[in-house]
Amino acid sequence: MPTHYEVLGIGPGADTEAIRRAYIAVAKASHPDRRQSDDPERRARADERIRAANAAWNVLRDPDRRAEYDLSLPSGPSASARPTGSTWSASSSGSTRRGPIPADRPGPPSGYVVPAAHASLWRYAPIVVILTVLVGILVVSAYATAKDSGPTSDTLARPAAPAVGDCILVAFISNGKVPVPVTCGTRDSYRVQSWVNTPQPCAPGSDALPLSDQKTTLCLVPAG
């Protein structure tokens, strides 16, 4: 399965702006309006691409979620960016060897000797880190569930993005519509005029876009 970075066609060291540009490019390329003449199989593949891009954007745009995701990658976030061709020297039986370091080969030893008892502990360190992250996720999920089950409020909890005044494209996927953030002035884009609680209607003259949380509806007007 490709990583979120591979889905968007960027490297693990990309900044947030580069991630946003890559996401918009994938969303535009896979938009149903551009796929009307395609056969059903190609449209299905485009639908899969935009869903994968949505998932990648939701993770990589948030620094905390991105850090957790990078820890879950088998080789770590910077494995694919490790340089090759550098040289190193190591003494073995009185001889010194020099040559390029393969990308999949660890660097030279540090010179520090770790006791066997401590080495066995380090072997389980990644497992401890993963368990700690999972426990943290469970605690946050439990807190969010308890908060949702408490007294309701007239104040709508706003998602992180898009905000009122932001511009979006409406992307069509198999299970509904999703907003794709874009620069205002983009062709066929909409501006978020307001938020309302679903199923409250939007103001006259604006279009309603219910979000997947089934609690929030975006009220949109043409950006142009």
Find the CATH number of the domain harbouring 9.
1.10.287.110
Residue 78 has pLDDT above 70, yes or no: no
Residue 125 has pLDDT above 90, yes or no: no
ω into residue 74 within 30 of 0, thus cis? no
d(CA 94, CA 92) in angstroms, rounded, equals 5
Residue 143 tokens, joined: 């807190």
d(CA 187, CA 196) in angstroms, rounded, equals 25
Question: Is 157 among the domain residues?
Answer: no
More confident of the two residues 169 and 86: 169
- The identity of residue 210, as a single letter, is P
pLDDT at 155: 41
Asked if residue 87 lies in contact with residue 100, where contact means CB atoms within 8 angstroms, the answer is: yes
Question: Is 192 among the domain residues?
Answer: yes
pLDDT at 192: 92
Question: Is 154 among the domain residues?
Answer: no
What order do you get walking across the sheet with 216-222 strand by strand? Answer: 176-182, 167-173, 190-197, 216-222, 207-210
3-class state of residue 67 by DSSP: helix
Q: Binning pLDDT at 50, 70 and 90, where does residue 118 land?
A: low
Q: Tell me which residue has tokens 């190609």.
A: 42
Question: Is 152 among the domain residues?
Answer: no
* Phi then psi dihedrals of residue 186, to 5 deg: -65, 140
Domain boundary among 46, 72, 98: 72
Domain boundary among 72, 91, 114: 72
Question: Is 39 among the domain residues?
Answer: yes
Q: What is the span of the domain harbouring residue 218?
A: 167-222
The total number of structural domains that make up the chain: 2
**Which range has the worst mean pLDDT, 72-76, 111-115, 139-143?**
111-115
pLDDT at 184: 86
Question: Is 28 among the domain residues?
Answer: yes
> Within 13 A of 82's CA, how many CA atoms are on the CB side?
14
Residue 98 has pLDDT above 70, yes or no: no
d(CA 214, CA 175) in angstroms, rounded, equals 13
Domain boundary among 72, 90, 110: 72
Question: Is 139 among the domain residues?
Answer: no
The pLDDT tens digits for 164-210 are: 889 988 887 766 788 888 888 788 889 998 989 988 999 998 999 88
CA distances from 221 to 126, 187, 202, 212 (A): 49, 13, 11, 20
**Mean pLDDT, residues 147-161 taken together:** 48
Question: Is 55 among the domain residues?
Answer: yes
- What is the model's pTM? 0.36
Q: Binning pLDDT at 50, 70 and 90, where does residue 81 land?
A: very low
Classify each residue of 115-126 as buried b or exposed e, where b means 16 or more C-beta atoms within 10 Å of its C-beta.
Answer: eeeeeeeeeeee
Q: Please, where are the H alpha helices in the chain? A: 4-8, 16-29, 40-60, 63-72, 116-123, 125-148
